[in-house]
Structure 1
Amino acid sequence: MSNNVRNIVIAGLGGQGVLKASDIVADVAFASGLDVKKSEIHGMSQRGGSVSSDVRFGSKVFSPMVPDGEADFLVVLDPTQIEVNRAALKPTGILIDPSILAGYKLKSEKSINVALLGALSRHLDFPESAWITAISGHLAPKLHAMNFAAFETGRNA
């Protein structure tokens, strides 16, 4: 990982695990020795409304908010949130959305957040073991096998 700050925006609807996904990304970066800042916007998340979370990491990060047009990655858990959040993505940024999972079957739709983190992980220079450790730390043991499988699906998508 270079010294420059990486900007990730994760967006979706309330109940999809946006905040859990951003916590996992933040933990992976922090465990790798980077400075990490995170912020979140809940909106009407309790009712299925828009939720987004910014994660920034690098050798030194001064602000938790990703400036508009500066996200290196936009991870969108629900297709309805793509256009709502597209302004966050820089012109050379990468959109990761559920369409990349077309043709793959997840054991549970509830693990789409972890599946898309699997896809994101292919673009970041962190060992797969760091992702597995972070996922384990944020989910109940009974959910580990299903989410490890979802993560692998995303990595392979």
Structure 2
Amino acid sequence: MVSSPIRILGLDPGLRRTGWGVIDCSGNRLTYVACGQVCPDETLSLGERLAKLHEGLTEILKAYAPDEAAVEETFVNQNPLSTLKLGQARGIAMLAPAQAGIMVAEYKPNLVKKTVVGTGHAGKEQIGMMIGVLLPKAGTIGADAADALAVAITHAHHRVSAALKKAVMA
């Protein structure tokens, strides 16, 4: 019995650039669908940028109709204000799919790197290279889109345990 593919939207949140990537997952087979970035105009106010981010993600959700979504957890850096702003963008990245009735899973950056590259401290270049190996039809893409595809791949590999964890915590 062959199951229907599951369409997964991976998101790498950022206030300047939010990377997104869509893959189809059928068993262990992953197929590239699309990827890109949502880049709100940096001259807009914070509220306006968040609104533009939400609009862009809503359009992607309508265009690609994912079944599930995954978001990278916030990496806490040394600047508390930057971390707070990143958290706001991450909130929008979680809100948009949730409003569409889509389950949203969360993954730590080190788990994403370990899943895709094999080491939790991989650099962006290594992630980009592995995306090229795992999803060759993606072609040459930016780091934010590659990170988003890495989040989608991580979800494809861990989605069953993520769903079980969410059910247990409910």
TM over 0.5: no
TM-score, with structure 2 as normaliser: 0.37
Greater RCO, 1 or 2 (C-alpha within 8 Å, sep 6+)? 2
Query: Which of 1 and 2 has greater Rg?
Result: 2
Larger relative helix fraction: 2
